[in-house]
Amino acid sequence: MTHNTPKPNIIFILVDALRASNLGSFGYPKPITPTLDKLATRGTTFEKCFSCTNASDPALTSLMSGMYTRSHGILHHSYEVAQKEINTMDQRNVKFIQQILKEHGYNTYALDFLARWHMRGYDYYPELKIDRTKRKKQLNRISRFFKFLHIKPLFKKISHTNTFRKIFGGFDAYPKDTDTTVKAVELIQTSTKDNKQPYFLFVHYWGVHKPYTCPDVENKRSTQCYDNAIETVDKHIAEILDAANEQDIIVVVGDHAESLGEHGISFDHHGLYDPSLHVPLIFAGKNIPEGKRINALSCTTDIFSTLLDLAHITYNAKTDSVSLVPLMQDKVQEVRKEVYTEENYYQDKAAIRTTNHKFIKTIGQGICQQCHIVHGGDIELYDLTQDPQELNNIAQKHPDVVKEYSEKIDILIQ
Ligand SMILES: [Zn+2]
Ligand SMILES: [Zn+2]
């Protein structure tokens, strides 16, 4: 393809904490995702996409840079992201997809609220009701005080309560999904009318992230509430798709997934088991095969290279991303052997996910600061062909396999 090929508009829809298994197109029996299921029939679904981390700040950084957390340097989340991590990212010249697209003539818009470094490279980024940098400093100070009293885990717990958020400006201060949709439709319509430059629109929905947005469901920590939130976001996505052109590239993904009780992790996304990592990944639009389903392994970082590929942009810097286009075109059977994933919020663990295996290793804080237990032990190995729910730890029976994966992780985290 030549560089003169017209560049497609790209609409990147991120549904925070959306797990794959609760979509109809992934076999969920409740009909809560008619829009996403329809999108799957007019596009290509990646059935085995896993996130490379499970907290929003590092996950978004990975999505936009195509790099694992260890590669870009943002390991932590929220107020725990140290300036040092941001400096590391800058020293490594990490570039986000919106910055690259902008250099290639795209108008770039984000409907996001994570702010700070996530704002880079956009022509439009909403004004937030709170200053996230200032809030981060405040929270850091309070967190240090709790640490001084040796009750830091308690701080993490209360920082997720609605009362705390009211006082310190938590998610309530972020835009509502309804407003996000209105603005998204407006941006699409204005850009389509101008029609001079292609656009990249990043839309971040928050309703499926805890506390789930389900006004009519009483128990906010329930699968019913989670499903209700998904159903609402699905309707928002319908409005965006209605406004968009059939030829526009659409991608829908979760930055991480959500555990609904599996492995003792309830209505949260920590842990490196599949329920917290397995996300739906759907592409649709120009040159994307219709109704195709791909079972090969993919990672959320791969969206980066796939979108650049679809926009005919060559980018040679080293990333942890590989284009999924050859899979869509049946040119290859697989693009990666494994996904590396890591968490550094309630516990410090790293994992390697292959088609057949999950290996999880404790690399720091082993006791979960939310549940006050060690989930699954310090070393875990699961044979996913026999045990897809990761219930039978076979690490002791296979020291050779454990050694191989363990050494791989040691190299990655040094
Ligand atoms: Zn998230
Ligand atoms: Zn836990």
Task: For residues 411 and 240, give the distance between their C-alpha atoms in angstroms, rounded to a whole number.
Answer: 43
> What is the CA(345)–ligand 2 centre distance, in A?
10
Paired strand residues for 55: none
> What is the CA(56)–ligand 1 centre distance, in A?
3
CB-based burial of residue 27 (10 Å sphere; 0-12 exposed, 13-18 middle, 19+ buried)?
A: exposed
**Domain 10-128+174-337 identical in fold to domain 346-414:** no
- Give yes or no for a contact between 272 and 294, defined as CB atoms under 8 angstroms apart: no
Relative to the alpha carbon of 272, which ligand is closest? Answer: 2
> What is the CA(365)–ligand 2 centre distance, in A?
12
Residues with Cβ within 8 Å of residue 338, at least 6 apart in sequence: 297, 352, 353, 354
Relative to the alpha carbon of 255, which ligand is closest? Answer: 1
Relative to the alpha carbon of 375, which ligand is closest? Answer: 2
CA atoms within 13 A on the CB side of 173: 18
Choosing among 3.10.50.40, 3.40.720.10, 3.20.20.10, 3.40.50.300, the CATH entry for 10-128+174-337 is: 3.40.720.10
> What is the CA(53)–ligand 1 centre distance, in A?
9
CB-based burial of residue 300 (10 Å sphere; 0-12 exposed, 13-18 middle, 19+ buried)?
A: buried
Task: For residues 94 and 214, give the distance between their C-alpha atoms in angstroms, rounded to a whole number.
Answer: 37
Low-confidence ranges of the chain (pLDDT < 50): 1-2
> What is the CA(269)–ligand 2 centre distance, in A?
9
> What is the CA(376)–ligand 2 centre distance, in A?
10
* 376 C-beta neighbours (distance < 10 Å), count: 21
Domain regions of the chain by residue span: 10-128+174-337, 346-414
> What is the CA(347)–ligand 2 centre distance, in A?
8
> What is the CA(160)–ligand 1 centre distance, in A?
14
> What is the CA(197)–ligand 1 centre distance, in A?
30
> What is the CA(180)–ligand 2 centre distance, in A?
32
Relative to the alpha carbon of 206, which ligand is closest? Answer: 1
> What is the CA(153)–ligand 2 centre distance, in A?
11
> What is the CA(74)–ligand 2 centre distance, in A?
21
Question: Tell me, what's the pLDDT at 1?
Answer: 46
List phi, psi (to 5°) of 69.
-60, -40
> What is the CA(23)–ligand 1 centre distance, in A?
18
Question: Tell me, what's the pLDDT at 47?
Answer: 98
- Give yes or no for a contact between 301 and 53, defined as CB atoms under 8 angstroms apart: no
> What is the CA(4)–ligand 1 centre distance, in A?
37
Relative to the alpha carbon of 273, which ligand is closest? Answer: 2
> What is the CA(378)–ligand 2 centre distance, in A?
13
Paired strand residues for 12: 202, 251
Helix ranges (DSSP H) in 173-267? 177-194, 223-243
Task: For residues 8 and 19, give the distance between their C-alpha atoms in angstroms, rounded to a whole number.
Answer: 28
> What is the CA(54)–ligand 1 centre distance, in A?
7
> What is the CA(17)–ligand 1 centre distance, in A?
5
DSSP letter (8 states) at residue 142:
H
pTM of this prediction?
Answer: 0.92
Q: Which of 14, 106, 11 is nearest to 60 (CA)?
A: 14
Choosing among 3.30.1120.10, 3.30.200.20, 3.90.1150.10, 3.30.499.10, the CATH entry for 346-414 is: 3.30.1120.10
- Give yes or no for a contact between 381 and 394, defined as CB atoms under 8 angstroms apart: yes
